[in-house]
Amino acid sequence: MIAPQRFAGTTAMITGGVQGIGRAVAERLRAESAEVVLVDRSEAVHEVAAELGAHGVVADLEEFSGATAAAERAVQLVGRIDVLINNVGGTIWAKPYEHYAEDEVRAEVQRSLFPTLWCCRAVLPHMLDRGSGTIVNVSSVATRGVNRVPYGAAKGGVNALTTSLAMEVAERGIRVVATATGGTEAPPRRIPRGPGPDGDRERGWFQQVVDQTTDSSLMKRYGTLAEQAGAIAFLASAEASYVTGTVLPVAGGDLG
């Protein structure tokens, strides 16, 4: 249920905001009165930001320089960052680990771990200066899943980052939490993550991921973007003020 004033007076920086969960969270926070800065490496971020009445920033968050520039620009635009939602990431390939090339392993980790590492590092000084702030990392239950070992390893790193950073900064006014998302139904991506399955063998590997994701869910279904956004919005809000260092599975009962 939308709480129209829940984020009144709150600023939020959301990464990967052009599509999928990132956009759904942005829509939810805007509906609940947050001032939002969307960050994405696609120029489409400006179009989406205009549609939502938000601000758009283009940055490559796989590099620390990009994360730092994005944080500084967000502060320029809205004055401060109360909430950081690290949403950038996602499986590029789906195949058994022995079929990954070295550069593919590096690309998966670069995509799904480093943007969160860098953005936490870039935004944290701003929050510590003010003695308050909330970081919500978007992880995955794919830490226990088939045909996505490098991605699962990257998201395991996000989980460790969440818990260890929370321990460091809790007494300094900062909360750090995460959701572990399960399979999520979403419209076709306007910007593909990767080349997609090529041939029957790769399509079979991808179907194994789909089947395992559904089988691992007690509800035997994929979630919705609204269900993911609702959990993230709760963790980002003052209603979760006594929650930190926690990774919340949002996967129909799959604990990852």
For the chain, what is the domain count? 1
pLDDT of residue 178: 98
Output the pTM of the full model: 0.96
pLDDT of residue 139: 98
Q: Any catalytic annotation for residue 100?
A: no
pLDDT bin (cut points 50, 70, 90) of residue 237 is very high
pLDDT of residue 227: 98
Which one from 97, 151, 222, 242 is the annotated catalytic residue?
Answer: 151
Q: Does residue 206 fall inside a structural domain?
A: yes
Domain extent at residue 81: 11-250
Return the H-helix or E-strand segment holding 10. Answer: none
**Does 1 have pLDDT greater than 90?**
no
**What contacts 165, CB < 8 A, 6 or more positions away?**
120, 124, 135, 176
Strand partners, 138: 179
pLDDT of residue 187: 84
Q: Does residue 3 fall inside a structural domain?
A: no
pLDDT bin (cut points 50, 70, 90) of residue 55 is very high
Measured CA to CA, the distance from residue 23 to residue 27 in angstroms comes to 6
Per-residue pLDDT tens over the stretch 11-47: 999 999 999 999 999 999 999 999 999 999 999 999 9
- Cβ atoms of 120 and 161 within 8 Å: the answer is yes
pLDDT of residue 194: 76
Per-residue pLDDT tens over the stretch 105-124: 999 999 999 999 999 999 99
**Does 154 have pLDDT greater than 90?**
yes
Strand partners, 247: 178
Q: Does residue 2 fall inside a structural domain?
A: no
pLDDT bin (cut points 50, 70, 90) of residue 98 is very high
Strand ranges inside the chain, DSSP E: 11-15, 35-40, 55-58, 83-86, 133-140, 174-181, 247-250
* Rounded mean pLDDT, 149-166: 98
Q: Does residue 1 fall inside a structural domain?
A: no
**What contacts 177, CB < 8 A, 6 or more positions away?**
134, 135, 136, 137, 162, 166, 235, 240, 243, 244, 245, 246, 247, 248
Q: Does residue 5 fall inside a structural domain?
A: no
User: Where residue 172 sits, what CATH number does that domain have?
Assistant: 3.40.50.720
| Mean predicted lDDT score pLDDT of the chain | 96
**What contacts 172, CB < 8 A, 6 or more positions away?**
128, 131
Per-residue pLDDT tens over the stretch 182-215: 999 988 877 777 788 888 999 999 999 999 999 9
For the chain, percent of residues with pLDDT exceeding 70: 100
Question: Roughly how many angstroms between the first and final C-alpha of the chain, as a whole number?
Answer: 27
Question: Hey, CA dihedral for 29, 175, 106, 74, is it positive or negative?
Answer: positive
Q: Does residue 4 fall inside a structural domain?
A: no
pLDDT of residue 189: 72
